Structure formats: structure tokens, C-alpha cells
Chains A and B, each alone.
Chain A
């Protein structure tokens, strides 16, 4: 008999445990893990999914192992190598940046035929080697994917041949006036081309306007910007003009301004700088005396100042409205009078009355010929508001047959945008040279995309007697054509623009050798006369100005809420909105990125119960915009300040719909535009965070940054800096006395940096220069809000708070006073000789070099972030994501075109590694190698970091501290025990970056 075979599934079944009995009746046993995520549905799909993942994992692992063979990489040489290009060796070309705003002669570094860096042209007598953040970042516009790839006719891509033919036919049969609308053009050759182009039409007009207009200034000075020379001024009074950051020619003015701000024990004198302004501008932050006034008070301030000066110089007084700030005006006037011939008054007001008085004041002070170089007035602003307003009227009246926009975008940046749009409908032929389909180009028939300036020949005459040249540094990336060449084509000329330029210059530079020298130097002296004003508007009389000011003062005074519209240092009037570098550059004073906002004074915010980030609706001219509020210490009470350049809709991927467009709120009175208005505001009830990179406003009483007064400095230069001593058994000692670590011995080089806080104006050019040089990624607004911006170099802005800890603890100290003084401190890796980061890295990914550099090795870093934690300066940045090739960060590193801007000598870091300032070690290595190749030691100044090279005021000096003749060594020798200090010296980190105490010339 066969035994019954018993099968059992486990010991539990065999033993028939109670647990088994329980589970046996449960079809879906609980002890099996089921859907962790959804919880509800326990369908049979769960297990297969897990299995699938396992298989997938295994499959991927197997595939990875199997494919360890490296992919085949190609090496593609030139077919016919250009003689001057040597792969791996940079070429430099002299060029000029003037993209409708700031004038800056530059040198462009190209590698393998593509521009990768912009530096200042040291040969330029105007800007020296200085640069501006916008000229630094203009490089990225070249590689902007949103640029047009070819000509567009009526919304459809076409060929140049077809579009030329069509345009010429239509222009020949045009009815009415032909108008070319542009921003200021300072190119003599371009003007010649436009003149020739216009000559073929019975009625032609070239209308120039500037988005951030200086019409009133031009009118008061015979159609020219006076040749201000801040270097000659011992007393400077600015009424609203941000001349260091964004007004007229900031690179030039910064360079001049700083010559009288640098102090040494041998020359302990400084200029005195008064600033009357509404919004806390960068220039105001640098002023010795800053007086917050409302925009409507500018007239009263200028009138009062005029009366005091007139009183002192024997002129006739005018009737002036009363003002609250008499005391400060008295002080300013007294000093101006005391230094007649070395005094300068400037204003950015677009009120002709104000500018008339300013001109009169300067005249009375004997500025002409001293602080105003009458021989060399500036041409960089030529815009005439009245002509533009007339054109808008004419367009609406149907009097304009054809309109050509060259570099101008009035649909976006003109206050009467709606009328421009309407008027355009009545114009027969509309052409734009815009490089992208911007707001205006979207409404025209033909878009003939202009080259980027780095792809073009051009010439410039920024001031009388000064010339510079721009030359192509790369062949056209897209099928674009320089606007001048288009105009020449439509004129029927056979020569190209290059020939025209050579013709213009032939009389100035002489023959071929002269031309070669200019192409090499980039700058020349000489004048063409092309930019002299032809028919300047007659200036206002003093009496008329007085009447106007008294009328205006009455209308605007009182407790009305006033709006001031200003230009940001980085974004400008809107040309750079699509530049992610500039969008992410933190504003010098507000430290905000990626947005504009309604800056509001602390008192007003309190009165209206507005808090930071509250969205408010600002209404003027019957139009309103909504923006988050930013509470700005130092801003005049009952004022709001909003930056232009934002709220674009056709700028491109990075710039579209960032912030709001404030141009419609500009008030148009008569034939001038006023960048101020009376507004009403309401709270919307929403909240929009502003991405600020610095939210701590003060140093909370710690010695991070040091400042003192000029009076103390003159008394004893050794008393201005506080040196912390630490307690030891032998009494207070220098921190270096006690050390756990052995000192390094430097034999070859010892790189060091000196940052003069007196010279630093906070402009942020260095941060952009660093970003370009070192492939620092852009992270976007959200990541800035998450405190994950990647800048290696930041400029800390501290307000001096009036309160001390005793007054009410730390909370009070964080509240800067109503009108605080400001100090800027560039903060970067201090390359400590006793670096706290080096000792905590578990994998030795950060090490000290024999040349004093704190090295960061990306390929060793495992991302513990101990180093960042242990860094007292908080200068280490962690890659939370892959910022390259990541569609979440769709900026320049996510497309092939944008990647062309990357520096091939610097690694693009990947996710999970720490990074920080390297002292531009690639430049150090390059400089040393060049020296070795030529069998010599490196010359001082040959090896400089990107930040030091870009600085318009030479606030950052870099060099070899072992070379006794280097500038760094000499400054350190001179300032030792006087102004030189190390940040957080008491920690004995022994940084290789030394700061020099800021000296204020307080009244």
C-alpha cells in the first residue's frame, strides 16, 4: 500500500502553528510587503513592478560593465588651418563694447576662434583697463539661442536676396517720410551710412532716443554731455545721478572718481561726496554724505543750492521752493564754494529746469575747464525725447511711410508704447534690425537681424578727440548681416561697411600701417566731427527754469507717494534682460537677483503695513503694475523705486516675464519724459519672494569689515584698524603666536591679494568676470532662494546700524537705521595658510599648495560638505545639481551654442562636489608657463585673477608676495599696521587675502 505523501510548504505548516493557521485563510498575507506608495490598491501589479526594477537595475549594471570600452572620440583638425590660430593658444582682439548703453573699449580673448572672455583695454585713455558688468556679460548675448537665425519677412524665414529685393521695391515706392529710429549712435561711419541711405529719399529723418533718457542734460549743455572729470573734483554733489553704476559712462566716471578716494599715509586726502537721492543707489552707498530726498524735491534742492552758490559768487538769486534739507544743502554749498575750480555738481534728472540750474551752478563754480573738460564733451547720449514724441504723433497721423528700427525697441521701452503700437499700424513699410523678435520686431514686416557686436566691424567716437574700433572676433554664427551692410545694400552701394570705416579713418590714422596699429590697439585719438550736435534744442533760461521748478515743487510736495524709476547696474534699460549672468548678478545695494521690485522705505512700509515680499499694485498714468515690495533702508520716506529693464515679453527664454515693465509709469510732460511720478499703491494680498543673496544687513558688531574716518586717519594712520589680540598666559598676543599647525614654507611664489575697501564701489563687475572665467553656473531664482547660488566671489553689503547690542539685542541690530552708511566687501576664498577647510576633509580633496593656494580637487571630492561647514568665510559653494546639460537649468550650459562661452581650461563641475575661488589657478599656471618658455621670472601684473583684471577702480590687486617689487608686496609693506587687516584674524586662519580699512570722509 502506497503511503500518502505529505507535502508541506514550511516548518510552520508541518507543525501547523497557530500563526500558520491564521495566515492560511488570508489570501493576501500581510507579512508580504505591498504597495508602499499608494497604500490603497494592492493589485498584483506590485510585485512585477519591483521585479522589473530589479531586472532593470541588474540589466543596467551588466550593460555598464559590458560597455566599459570608452566611446570613440573624434579629433577633427582644421581642413585649412588659419595661420594665426593655434589650438590651445588664446588670441586677443581689441574691440569696443557699446550696446546702446555703456561705452567700454575691450580686449576679447578667443580660443580656437570663439570669444570666451572680455577684458578692459588698458590703452584706452577713457576707461583704462576697467570694465562694467554689462560689457563682461555681453559675451553671452553672442551665444544666445534666442537670436534670429536669419532674415524674417512677414513672420516667415526668408533669404537675404529675397528680403533685399522686396525691401528695395517697397522703399522705392514709399509714400511719406522714411524714418530711422535708433538709440544713440556714436559711430561716425554708421552715421555716414545712414546719411547716404537717407539721401535717396525725398524726406528722411533719423530719430534718436534713449530709453533712459538724458534729453534734459543735453538740452542744458548744447546737445552734448559735458566732459565730466571727477578726478579733478575735490567736492562732488550728485542729485540723483548714479554715476558709478549706470549713469552715462560709469566705467569712465568710476575710474576718475576713485583717484581722489584712494588714500595712503603719504596722501591722506579724499574728495567729499554729497548725494541727494531717493533710492539707495550704488553711488549713494559710496557717498560721504547721503541725503534721502523725494524725486519732486530735486528741483528745490538744486534751486536752493544754486541760490547759495550764487550768493557766494555774486550771482543773482532765484525764487526757490522751501526744502527740508537746508542743513545739508548749506554744508554742501559751503564746501563747493570753498573748492571752486575743483567742484562738480551732476544730476540725472530729466527735468530741463533742474539741468539748467545744474549747468549754471557748475558755471558759477568754475567747473568748466577744470572738473568739466570742455575740449572733450561726451557723445554717448544723443537721444532727443521731443523728436521721438513727435514721431509717435506723426505715425499716428499717418505721415510716416516707412520706419526702420535700429537697436531701438520703443514698443517695450517707450512710455507711450500703446501709441507706438497704434502708430505702427499706419506705417506702410516697417523694418527692424533687431537680433531677435523683440517687442517691436514682432510688429514689423521685415526683420533683418543685425550681427552681434563681436561679429562686426564698427567704429566709435565716444568723446570729442577719442576714437575706438570694434572688430569681428568670430565669423557670423547665424545667417545674420550687419545693419550697416543692409543699409548700404539698400542704398545701392557696392562697398561694404568695412571699406566705409577705412575710408572714415584714412584721414585720421594715415595709411595701412596706421590702420594696422589701430586694429591692434583698438583706440586712437582724432576726431571726425560726425557726432557734433546739428541742431540742439535751445536751452532753457534761468528764469524759465526757476518758474518751472516753483510750479513743479508746489504740485509734487506734501505727503504724496512718489515713484522713482531707476536703472539697475546689471540689467540696464532692457538690452540685457535675456542675459542669465546679469539676471543672477546680485544688485549692489538690494542684493536681489532675477527680479525687479518696488523698493520702499522702512517708515512708509510700516505706515502702510507692507512687509517684504508683499505684492503691491503701483498705479500711475492710469496704468498699474504688480510687484513684490522690498524694504530698502536709506530710501526717502514716502517713495517707491522701481527698476526699468524688466517685464519683457519678447526678450527670450531667460528674460521673458521676469519682473514687471515700469516704462508705462514714466510721466510724459510736454515734450520730456520724467522718470518719476506720483503713484498710489494697494496691497494685492499675495506674496512673491525676492531672491536676495544677502539678507543679513549688518555685521552685528563683529569685526568682519573695518572702517574709520579720514580725520582719525590723518591724525594717526596706525589707529584706524583694530587688531584683535588673544589672551595667553603671557598677556594679550597676536593670534599667530599660538598655533596648532606648522607653517608652510614658500620658495617659488606666494600668491596674495589685497582688496582696498576704499576703492571698492560695489559694482559687481568682478563677480561677473569671475563667473565667465571660471565656468560658474547660473542656477535660477528658485535656487538662489534656496541659498544655492554658485558665485565664487560675492560682494557683501553691510549697513552700519546705529544700534548696539546693548540697545536691544541682536534683533535691533539687524534693523539698519533710516539712513545708514553702507560698506561693500568683496568676499572670496581667503586662501588661508591655516585653512580650517583643509583639516576636515576626509578625502583630502582640498589641500594647500606650495604657492599658498588652497586647492580644490573636484575629482577627489565626495561631497561631505564638511569644508563648507568649517569655513568661517562661507565662500565654498556646493553643486547641488548638475547645472550643465540639465533641462531644469536651461541657461547657457544646456545648449551647444551657450556652451561655446565656457573656458576650455576650467573643468565644468558636476553634481555633488564642492567648489570655490581658485585664485584663477589656470591663469597662474598659464603665466608661469609663458615665463618658463621665455626663460624668465613672471613679471608683476602679468598674472592677474579675473576679478582683479576686471575691476574698474583697481580695488583688487593680485600678485606674488615673494616678489619684493610686486604691487601686492609694496602695498602690504606700506599698509602693515595701518589699514591692512585680515577678516576674522582672531581665528588665526592667516588668509592670503588682505583687506584695507575703509576710510570715510565724513563731514
Chain B
């Protein structure tokens, strides 16, 4: 009897439990996604994998070339075979003479006008899109070619944009902060739900088997008869004080939890993706065309703010490319009317918090995607991280300091190693102190 009653109660609670689990796993979904993205954080710029493979040129020159290439060429050219806007430059030094390349890079239109066969051919092949002139010195162009040489010499896979198999200091952040923990909990919950469902089904099957057995038995005792005829009395459950209290409690707990969540969420605009005056796509620029973030957000390694690019930066390319697009026409109109474009700010920190991009990007070596998410897949930019103090602090408590090769930290690292066995994280250098961000 008692067991039966229990079972009845259990069946009744089942939907509640089920709903609860579904909900909690749904809530847990977000961090899981976060983890996934954090891991997949894409480096748009190709890693300098083939640096050593270059033919003869020394590493410094190649390095210079890489910087120049990334800052000036990468938005139209890849070092591989693929066509971005202009041709892929793999083995270009084999196709063209260095003198020709010098002329072309310095002033392509002059070369075309001079009637150079190759120049005219290239011009026609790529939709008569003119390559802008670059005021590079001969050495600079030389270094770019050296870089292309070294990249071409490297095996194709290495030259292709690497989707971040290497672990940079910043990259683990997303994983440590939210991803891993969320993943394990989710897995446990799913297993638990499955086990429970299996248990319930098994019990139901056993009950019906037993009932059928009783039915087939024929001569039954009173008690057995009673058991067979017994139907679940829902009214009883409804009237049961214990059930009412439990249901009431669950209701209150859920309600309180939701309201606390909502209240804490005031001012947090995670996922905020306002419509911008120009439908600029990061997916197209940073994703498909692999343009380095630094190309447009020029001050991200230098300044506290990663500036919103001015219209003249757009014009570097769009004075040539896709001029007729209605969205790009908006930039032309802004320039004609001498009225800057009023973008809508997506990431809004309160005035009381000081944030410095260069501290994180240049010194900390944190990838843009660690905080801004898979920006290279976003058609419309959305706020990816909550930008709460908890979120900042979490990262500062989990991230090892990027001390390598930075003489500022040399002595500190030694001191830390002498005194502690733990990792030298941001927090161990005062990274969670008030006046690091509030002044």
C-alpha cells in the first residue's frame, strides 16, 4: 500500500522533475556554447608558421614583411592560392620579376597605362579592380616579398589560416572561466535524467506485468482484488498537505530564482545587437576576407580604446571595391556631407570602470575573440560577454599572466616561483584590486 502510494506520488512529480531538468539544462546551455566558442576562437591572421622555411632571407626581414603584409595587403590578398579581391600571392615571386612587382605595387595604374602585357592581363582578370598605390620603400617591398616567399615555401596546410590549434595565453580563458565546468555538469544531468526515465519506465513495466499476473491468477484474496481494482486517486494527491507544500515550495523557489536572475540582469546587455546605420558585416570582413582586426581598429594595441574606424579607413578599400553597393554609398554620402557616421555603441561599460584594450591585447596577449566572441561569424555585432565585474574578476583569477619575454615581470616571476607553487595569475599581481579599474 505504502509503496503504491509512493509510486503514485512519484508519477505525479515526474512531469515537474522533468520540466526542472529540461530547464536547468537549457540554462546550462549558454555556458556550454561559450566554452565551445572559446575553444574555437579563430585567429584571422595566419600564424607565422613558415617563418623558418624562408629561402635565405633573415627572420627580421620576414617579420617586417609579415607586419606590412598584414597591415596593408591582407584585406585583398591571401598568401595562399585563394582569391580574396585580388589574386592569391603564393609563389608570386616565381611568376613575376621583382622589378615588375616593385613597379606594380608602387603604382599599378601607371604600369597598366604603360601597356605592360602582364599588368593589363591581371587588371582585366580581376574585374578591372584597381590596386591602390602604396608608398613603400624598395626594402619594404623586398621584405613583403621575402615574407611571401617564406610562406610559399612552407607546406600548404601551414600557410592556410590556422583555426587556432595552438594555445595562446588568452585562449584558454573562455574555457576555464565557463566552458569546462558547464560541460561536466550538463553531462551529469543528462545521464541522470536518462537513468531516471529508464527507471520509471522499468517500474511501470514491472507494475503492469505484476497486475497481468494477478489477473491471470484467477482466485484472488481480498487484498489482491483490492490492489487490482485500485485506481490512482488524483483527488487524494491534490488534497495531500505534503504535496501542496512541496509544490508551493518549488513554485516559490523557482519564482525567487527567476526574479533574482532578472534583477541581477538589469544593466547587463549580453546579446545586445542593435541595428547599425550601415549594415557592416564582420563576418564578411573579418571572417571571409580575413582582414586583421587591427587594420580597422587601429588603436587596439596602442590605446585604451579600440577605436571605431573612421570613414577614411573604409575608403582605403572601398574607393575601389563595391562602390555601387547602397550600404557603401552611405559612407560616400557621409564624406560628402562632412557628417561622421553615428554607429550605435554595442559594448557599454559604466563610467566608473576603466578598461584598457592595449593592456589586454598588447601586454596580456588576449585574443579579441576571448571577450568579443566569434566576431568573425557575426553579421551584426552582438555583445558576447556579460561585461559584469564578476566576469572580469573571474578571468583575472584564472588567467596566467603573459609574462614571457616581458622584462617588466622578470623579477616578479622569480619572486612568485620562490614563494608559491601556483600559477602566476593576474590576481597574484594585484589584478583584482579596486584601483586597477576604478579611479
Asked if residues A849 and B434 are in contact (CB atoms below 8 Å), the reply is: yes
Instruction: Give B354's nearest chain A residue, CB to CB.
Output: A905
For A931-943 the 0/1 string (1 means CB < 8 A from B) is 1110111000000
Complex CA distance for A860 and B359, rounded to whole angstroms: 24
Complex CA distance for A933 and B360, rounded to whole angstroms: 10
Chain B residues, Cβ within 8 Å of A86: 298-299, 302-303, 307
B176 at the interface (CB under 8 A from A): no
B436 at the interface (CB under 8 A from A): yes
Asked if residues B309 and A77 are in contact (CB atoms below 8 Å), the reply is: yes
B117 at the interface (CB under 8 A from A): no
Asked if residues A937 and B407 are in contact (CB atoms below 8 Å), the reply is: yes
Nearest chain A CB to B335 CB, angstrom units: 6
Complex CA distance for A504 and B184, rounded to whole angstroms: 77
Complex CA distance for A94 and B343, rounded to whole angstroms: 34
Asked if residues A933 and B358 are in contact (CB atoms below 8 Å), the reply is: yes
Interface centre among A87, A918, A937 (most CB of B within 10 A): A87
Complex partner residue of A859 from B352, B359, B436, CB under 8 angstroms? B352
Chain B residues, Cβ within 8 Å of A906: 439
Q: A81-B310, A849-B433, A908-B351 are in contact. Are A933 and B343 (CB under 8 A)?
A: no
For B336-372 the 0/1 string (1 means CB < 8 A from A) is 0011111111001011101010110011000000000
Complex partner residue of A75 from B299, B303, B344, B415, CB under 8 angstroms? B344
Asked if residues B345 and A87 are in contact (CB atoms below 8 Å), the reply is: no
Asked if residues A87 and B312 are in contact (CB atoms below 8 Å), the reply is: no
Instruction: Give A82's nearest chain B residue, CB to CB.
Output: B310
Q: A87-B307, A907-B438 are in contact. Are A935 and B302 (CB under 8 A)?
A: no
For B287-326 the 0/1 string (1 means CB < 8 A from A) is 0000000000011001111011111110000000000000
Chain B residues, Cβ within 8 Å of A668: none
Chain A residues, Cβ within 8 Å of B435: 849, 853, 855-857, 918, 921, 925
Instruction: Give B346's nearest chain A residue, CB to CB.
Output: A75
For A72-103 the 0/1 string (1 means CB < 8 A from B) is 11111111110000111100000000000000
Asked if residues A937 and B408 are in contact (CB atoms below 8 Å), the reply is: yes
Complex CA distance for A856 and B302, rounded to whole angstroms: 28
A508 at the interface (CB under 8 A from B): no
Interface centre among B350, B409, B439 (most CB of A within 10 A): B439
Determine, out of B6-14, B54-62, B247-255, B266-274, the stretch whose residues face the partner at the interface. Answer: B266-274
Nearest chain B CB to A839 CB, angstrom units: 16
Asked if residues A89 and B302 are in contact (CB atoms below 8 Å), the reply is: yes
Nearest chain B CB to A872 CB, angstrom units: 22
Chain B residues, Cβ within 8 Å of A936: 407-408
A850 at the interface (CB under 8 A from B): yes
Q: A89-B299, A937-B408 are in contact. Are A857 and B438 (CB under 8 A)?
A: yes
Complex CA distance for A42 and B339, rounded to whole angstroms: 60
B412 at the interface (CB under 8 A from A): yes
Chain A residues, Cβ within 8 Å of B348: 70, 73
B406 at the interface (CB under 8 A from A): yes
B163 at the interface (CB under 8 A from A): no
Complex CA distance for A728 and B343, rounded to whole angstroms: 68
Asked if residues B344 and A72 are in contact (CB atoms below 8 Å), the reply is: yes
Complex partner residue of A922 from B298, B305, B415, B439, CB under 8 angstroms? B439
B405 at the interface (CB under 8 A from A): yes
Asked if residues A76 and B439 are in contact (CB atoms below 8 Å), the reply is: no
Chain B residues, Cβ within 8 Å of A78: 310-312, 340
Instruction: Give B313's nearest chain A residue, CB to CB.
Output: A81
Chain A residues, Cβ within 8 Å of B312: 78-81
For B30-54 the 0/1 string (1 means CB < 8 A from A) is 0000000000000000000000000
Instruction: Give A930's nearest chain B residue, CB to CB.
Output: B358
Interface size class of B (residues with CB under 8 A): 35 or more
Complex partner residue of B311 from A68, A79, A857, A932, CB under 8 angstroms? A79
Asked if residues A77 and B359 are in contact (CB atoms below 8 Å), the reply is: no
Q: A76-B340, A79-B335, A847-B433 are in contact. Are A921 and B351 (CB under 8 A)?
A: no
B190 at the interface (CB under 8 A from A): no
Complex CA distance for A793 and B58, rounded to whole angstroms: 56
B430 at the interface (CB under 8 A from A): yes
Q: A847-B434, A855-B433, A860-B434 are in contact. Are A88 and B299 (CB under 8 A)?
A: yes
A532 at the interface (CB under 8 A from B): no
Complex partner residue of B407 from A81, A849, A918, A935, CB under 8 angstroms? A935
Complex partner residue of B430 from A68, A80, A850, A918, CB under 8 angstroms? A850
Chain B residues, Cβ within 8 Å of A81: 307, 310, 312-313
B202 at the interface (CB under 8 A from A): no
Complex CA distance for A918 and B344, rounded to whole angstroms: 34
A543 at the interface (CB under 8 A from B): no
Q: A89-B302, A855-B433, A907-B352 are in contact. Are A929 and B308 (CB under 8 A)?
A: no
Q: A68-B267, A86-B298 are in contact. Are A76 and B363 (CB under 8 A)?
A: no
Nearest chain A CB to B269 CB, angstrom units: 6
Chain B residues, Cβ within 8 Å of A89: 299, 302-303
Chain A residues, Cβ within 8 Å of B438: 855, 857-859, 907
For A720-751 the 0/1 string (1 means CB < 8 A from B) is 00000000000000000000000000011000
Complex CA distance for A931 and B406, rounded to whole angstroms: 10
A851 at the interface (CB under 8 A from B): yes
Q: A68-B267, A929-B359 are in contact. Are A74 and B342 (CB under 8 A)?
A: yes
B429 at the interface (CB under 8 A from A): yes
Asked if residues A76 and B342 are in contact (CB atoms below 8 Å), the reply is: yes
B284 at the interface (CB under 8 A from A): no
B256 at the interface (CB under 8 A from A): no
Asked if residues B299 and A932 are in contact (CB atoms below 8 Å), the reply is: no
Asked if residues B343 and A74 are in contact (CB atoms below 8 Å), the reply is: yes
Instruction: Give B435's nearest chain A residue, CB to CB.
Output: A855
Chain A residues, Cβ within 8 Å of B158: none
Interface centre among A748, A921, A925, A932 (most CB of B within 10 A): A932
Asked if residues B439 and A851 are in contact (CB atoms below 8 Å), the reply is: no
Complex CA distance for A918 and B433, rounded to whole angstroms: 14
Asked if residues A88 and B430 are in contact (CB atoms below 8 Å), the reply is: no
Complex CA distance for A917 and B290, rounded to whole angstroms: 47
Nearest chain A CB to B409 CB, angstrom units: 8
Chain B residues, Cβ within 8 Å of A932: 359, 363, 406, 408-409
B185 at the interface (CB under 8 A from A): no
Chain A residues, Cβ within 8 Å of B303: 86-89
B84 at the interface (CB under 8 A from A): no
B334 at the interface (CB under 8 A from A): yes
Chain A residues, Cβ within 8 Å of B430: 748, 849-851
Complex CA distance for A748 and B433, rounded to whole angstroms: 14
Instruction: Give B298's nearest chain A residue, CB to CB.
Output: A86
Complex CA distance for A803 and B266, rounded to whole angstroms: 63
Chain B residues, Cβ within 8 Å of A937: 407-408
Asked if residues A935 and B408 are in contact (CB atoms below 8 Å), the reply is: yes
Asked if residues B439 and A921 are in contact (CB atoms below 8 Å), the reply is: yes
Asked if residues B436 and A74 are in contact (CB atoms below 8 Å), the reply is: no
Complex partner residue of A77 from B266, B341, B351, CB under 8 angstroms? B341
Complex CA distance for A860 and B354, rounded to whole angstroms: 15
Asked if residues A933 and B362 are in contact (CB atoms below 8 Å), the reply is: yes
Chain B residues, Cβ within 8 Å of A905: 304, 354, 439
Complex partner residue of B434 from A77, A88, A855, CB under 8 angstroms? A855
Nearest chain B CB to A110 CB, angstrom units: 14
Closest 6 pairs (CB-CB, A-B)? A88-B303, A855-B435, A850-B430, A81-B310, A78-B310, A88-B304
19 further A-B contacts with Cβ under 8 Å, apart from A855-B434, A859-B438, are A70-B267, A70-B348, A72-B274, A73-B345, A73-B348, A77-B309, A79-B335, A81-B313, A86-B298, A86-B303, A88-B304, A850-B430, A859-B352, A905-B304, A907-B351, A908-B351, A929-B356, A932-B406, A937-B407
Query: What are 18 contact pairs spanning A and B, CB under 8 A?
Result: A68-B267, A70-B267, A70-B269, A72-B344, A74-B343, A75-B342, A75-B344, A77-B309, A88-B299, A88-B356, A748-B429, A849-B433, A856-B435, A857-B438, A905-B304, A907-B352, A922-B354, A937-B407
Q: Tell me the B residues contacting A by CB distance below 8 Å.
A: 266-267, 269, 274, 298-299, 302-305, 307-313, 334-335, 338-345, 348, 350-352, 354, 356, 358-359, 362-363, 405-409, 412, 415, 429-430, 433-436, 438-439
